[in-house]
Structure 1
């Protein structure tokens, strides 16, 4: 899903550095007409890496965290993995000229990955509590 949305389903861009700062809100301003245009880029980027981080932690929990999982370790690892994954995607978009390189995409993908790590921790904590109650 991540590759399809960010690399595979894209058209070629002649100037991938035309909008480096990107869109930081849900509105983009048309400089010609002065109108606000509703855009969902920030929301899409926020939600893009959430399931990616949850599934990565779920599949590789022992390799990433070792035996004991702490919230601080989850926050640090989710920020690292989300940022590096997002940076890889953005650099591929830049070098392959598929989309534009945007700092806002890095930010919203990283925050979404952080929220995904927190969701993983909360679900894991609830599941552990349920296991303890049943035993």
Structure 2
């Protein structure tokens, strides 16, 4: 298989995985029963103070439980890692700044939707954690792409 066909195949795979991931994230963050997304609250809930909820979850981890603390702090990072990985794989936007910008933008859209629909709450800490997750995914993509390029280069040399 030629290098160009392989590249197009990877780009197509990236687009398919990206679309599936976006569907998953919309369902999980907005409609999932697991995190109480089905009931609408009567009032708007929001946090505009950076590190307030992160500090609260860490400070009261014993009372809240390790699961609640882990899912809030690390779950917000982990759930956006595929976004940062698939974004450069599926699109022409392959820069670090694009990963930061689009991760933040998607997170802002999700948080705003949660606020306006009163399903969940708007939290600036989630914006930070989700953006960090997108950046971590991008870094993993860059590492994987470098390893793949090296592997292709070495296997091409061996065939000659």
Tell whether the structures are fold-level matches, with TM greater than 0.5: yes
Report the Cα offset of residue 8 of structure 1. 1.4
Structure showing greater radius of gyration is 2
Q: 5+ residue gaps in structure 2?
A: 1-23
1:19 Cα deviation (Å)?
A: 4.1
Q: 1:89 aligns with which of 110, 124, 128?
A: 110
Q: What RMSD in Å do the two structures reach over aligned CA positions? A: 2.0
Which one has more relative contact order, counting CA pairs under 8 Å at least 6 apart?
1
TM-score w.r.t. the length of structure 2 is 0.68
- The 8 Å contact of residues 19 and 101 in structure 1, kept in 2 or not, is answered as yes
Q: Which runs of 5+ in 1 are unaligned?
A: 66-72
Question: How far is the alpha carbon of 1:18 from its aligned partner?
Answer: 4.7
Q: Is 1:122 aligned to residue 143 of structure 2?
A: yes
SS in 1 for 2:122: coil
Which digits, 9 at most, give the CA deviation of each residue in 1:47-85, with x for residues without a partner?
01101221222111xx224xxxxxxx2x21110010000
The equivalent position to 1:54 in structure 2, one of 85, 88, 93, is 85
Number of corresponding residues: 121
